Amino acid sequence: MATTVSSAGGLLAMLNENHPQLKLHALSNLNAFVDYFWPEISTSVALIESLYEDEEFDQRQLAALVASKVFYHLGEHNDSLSYALGAGSLFDVNEDSDYVHTVLAKALDEYASHRNRAAESNDEAANVDPRLEAIVERMLEKCIVDRKCQQAIGMAIECRRLDKVAEAIVRSDNVDATLAYCSNVSHNFVSRRVYRSEVLRLLVEVYEGTPSPNYLSMCQWLMFLDKPEDVARILEKLLRSENKDDALLAFQIAFDLVENEHQAFLLNVRDRLSSPDLQPSEPAEPNTAQTGDTAAAEDVPMAEENQPLIERRVDPKEAMYAERLGKIKGILSGETSIKLTLQFLYSHNKSDLLILKTIKQSVEMRNSVCHSATIYANAIMHAGTTVDTFLRENLDWLSRATNWAKFSATAGLGVIHCGHLQQGRSLMAPYLPQGGAGGGGSPYSEGGALYALGLIHANHGEGIKQFLRDSLRSTNVEVIQHGACLGLGLAALGTADEDIYDDIKTVLYTDSAVAGEAAGIGMGLLMVGTGSEKAGEMLAYAHETQHEKIIRGLALGIALTVYGREEEADTLIEQMTRDQDPILRYGGMYALALAYRGTANNKAIRQLLHFAVSDVSDDVRRTAVLALGFVMYSEPEQMPRIVSLLSESYNPHVRYGAALAVGISCAGTGLSEAISLLEPLTSDVVDFVRQGALMAMAMVMVQISEASDSRVGTFRRQLEKIILDKHEDTMSKMGAILASGILDAGGRNVTIKLLSKSKHDKITAVVGLAVFSQFWYWYPLIYFVSLAFSPTAFIGLNYDLKVPKFDFVSHAKPSLFEYPKPTTVATTSSAVKLPTAVLSTSARAKARASKKEAEKANAEKASGAESSSATTSSDKGKSSSKGGDSMQVDTPAEKKNEPEPSFEILTNPARVVPAQEKYIKFLEESRYLPIKSSPSGFVLLKDLRPDEPEVLALTDTPSSTASTTGGSAGQQGSASAAAADEEPQPPQPFDYIA
């Protein structure tokens, strides 16, 4: 029948007929033509609705479907959905039309909001329309059947239908990939912590049911769920396996867990691993039968001495387990990874002492702030490398530090020797309080030494806690108490040790401002993330005391206790942010930042932005903006957009907060938008804004080479110009000095990382940056930035946890990720150049008067090549030192004629910066195969040719005393180490003539 319908009027008239067949005919045709004639049909929609409501009419569902389509076209989506539900099975979820897609989206939103409301009010979803549930279930079933499991999982998670999530995972083609996707969704999109835990619990259950579970992911989830006993069970199962690969997997899991830096959890796992049964199988002498766990370590070596005897008595499986257990305990305690990191940073140290020398010479002695900043910069630049050459060379200059500057100078040794667990105590021995009598040394250096011990043992304080407690108890000097409280907090980070808490509380109750501030921070570090009721106790004392310093220390301490607690912390946050005392409101901003760290939670962002523009206190506003950096570090690309308007605020405190927020969230990313936002702030009119912007810029640019972003070179020259400029104010000069340190942190081998590779937050790093941002009030806290440093290294390990040498490829141009060029080229002319730099920045009138004498003096001093460089520098006396420096660095021009290779062969262990990770590939014929394909960090390697001898790297351990032969020797040492690893350059192209 090819008749064309030009109006729906006739069909609508049929609806008024009494015969049901006519009504059915009319409705069927209206349903077919509704998309064309809906304006006409809409005038009679009341009639169609009445047919649906007529209980006796047997085609009610068809009437509902037509009404639903009409309301859809009218834009009334709620009514459209309610009639679509009435249409029952006639509403076809498989139909590919805009109408069906819109109604399904509406149904899904409605259902999800019902389920979420029910879950939040702890009420079962009894009030959800069963018809709505049926539609959603049909839609989920369709997705699963069509193999669109990711869509099904997304919808099921949003609707809180975990049964459907499990069904979609089990019925998917690739269970592992689907589980990984589900884990990713739960981390990035599930905003409530309790529900996220439920999703992860489900994933663990599903994984346990699969024939070959992915234990790497499973243990990460169990860590998030705080289930140390389950992790210990998995590790023990792998360690007891006959297969060597399982043991390698167990070691890899342990390294991955250590990367998240959750000290209390790791120690729990370690303590739950059962001891090997090394007791004799036959009854033996009573004394040998009594050997417990402690004998395990001695029993293994004995096996080699009297083999036949032991074979009869000790199960070889248990001996193997004992050996593996010793290794994994070393990994879980952090000792193995720290030792390897220490060796890597020591052997690959590329820090440039000339930069420090320039800073030292340009800083005026009477300016104690810049003097201290230079010491901080040196500590940060050499963090974890154990290289203290600069300090040894400048002991006389260093000794001019007094009082708190002396405290900081001593504490700096803790950053340089960070991780030197075995020798940390002996390194600091000359400065530590002697025999509890407090005799001899200055209390400032003693306090600094205790703080240094905390920094050395940060998050791994098993061996030093007792000594720090004894030192704290045996002194009444507030400076020593200050250092001991900070040291204890660092060493016992997150362990919630009640005895240590009581010791620190005793110091707090002495109501001494200096010791009380450190006690407040120390309590927070000790209780980090426990969400304990101790926070209420601390808040009560903050209201009682009159000392601002104590209130500020406690405010930060309270914020640290709610770390990562998300909505559980809302009550405390509400209490703090409504407090009359601006210092406690300031603590409330940190509580918001740390409770919702890295979640990009909309509610937290909204609250922080509200305080950033409305609070009466500048401190609170500055901190509210800064706190955004902690909430957003998991999505750094979004950060510049959020604070772009705040960075142009009239209030300098808000601009400063915006700069540091970008620095924290985009640290180590080299994000172009972040650099563009910070550039104008580095030349702000207010000194402290410049300081914050310079430091933030250094944090963003850490480990970014000039080849990948030319602005890095510009920024380095800007820093040098600020440092050398006599007329620059102290605040921004301090910022420039610290920025120089951060830019070359850890011998140019570390970056600032707040997320581990498994996308979990690194607790120590986040806490370190949070306390570091307090340096606004208290400079010694600058050292906390070292907790956020993460080595940019690929360290491959064999079964014995040694580092075998083997090659792998970086498929990128070497210049993109190479170390910055050393400024050592300037050594020959520096004797001449430095005085001219001073001349050029002195008063113009004086320069004009003495120009001729200066030229004559320079001509006499220099000869040959040096004299030509001297005349050019004096001719340009009026130009800044920036021009002079840029001329010296332009040495690589002669290499331009040979094309740069498009790849680079790296040797294990190698420096692999974050931006380089995507280019790393293993060679096909390589002897070693990674247990887990990871381009950086600690990777366990399977040896495919175990019979061949291995060549090991990183065998040299840094000695406790660095060489005292001076900076040049230190430079040569690192240069020769590098030279050994690098191949010689190919010869220049030439023509061969017979």
Give the pLDDT confidence of 882-921 residue by residue, as tens digits. 333 433 444 444 445 578 788 888 888 888 888 888 888 8
The residue written with tokens 């090819």 in the block is 2
Give the pLDDT confidence of 364-423 residue by residue, as tens digits. 767 778 888 888 999 999 988 888 888 888 888 788 777 888 888 888 888 888 888 778
Distance CA 635, CA 647 (A): 19
Max avg pLDDT among 32-46, 76-90, 182-196, 780-794:
780-794
Instruction: Considering only residues 248 and 887, tell me which one the structure prediction assigns the higher pLDDT.
Output: 248
Q: What is the mean pLDDT of the chain?
A: 78
Distance CA 170, CA 175 (A): 7
Instruction: Considering only residues 971 and 132, tell me which one the structure prediction assigns the higher pLDDT.
Output: 132
**pLDDT computed for residue 308 by the predictor:** 43
Q: Are 289 and 969 in contact (CB under 8 A)?
A: no
Distance CA 684, CA 216 (A): 48
**pLDDT computed for residue 660 by the predictor:** 92
Q: Which residues contact residue 883 at a Cβ distance below 8 angstroms, ignoring those fewer than 6 apart?
A: 876
**Structure confidence at residue 659 as a pLDDT band (50, 70, 90):** very high
Residue 262 phi/psi, 5° resolution?
-100, 85
Distance CA 974, CA 348 (A): 7
Residue 857 CA neighbour count, 13 Å, CB half: 12
Give the pLDDT confidence of 815-867 residue by residue, as tens digits. 888 888 877 544 333 333 444 444 444 455 555 555 555 555 554 444 333 33
Of 193-197, 303-307, 715-719, which range is least confident? 303-307
Give the pLDDT confidence of 556-580 residue by residue, as tens digits. 999 999 998 888 888 888 988 898 9
Tell me the Cα Rg of the chain.
34
Of 292-296, 574-578, 633-637, 772-776, which range is least confident? 292-296
Q: Is the peptide bond before 909 cis (omega within 30 degrees of 0)?
A: yes
Q: Residue 559: beta bridge partners?
A: none
**pLDDT computed for residue 890 by the predictor:** 44
pLDDT higher than threshold 60 for residue 547: yes
How much of the chain, in percent, has pLDDT values that exceed 70? 83
Q: Are 751 and 703 in contact (CB under 8 A)?
A: yes
The residue written with tokens 């018809």 in the block is 131
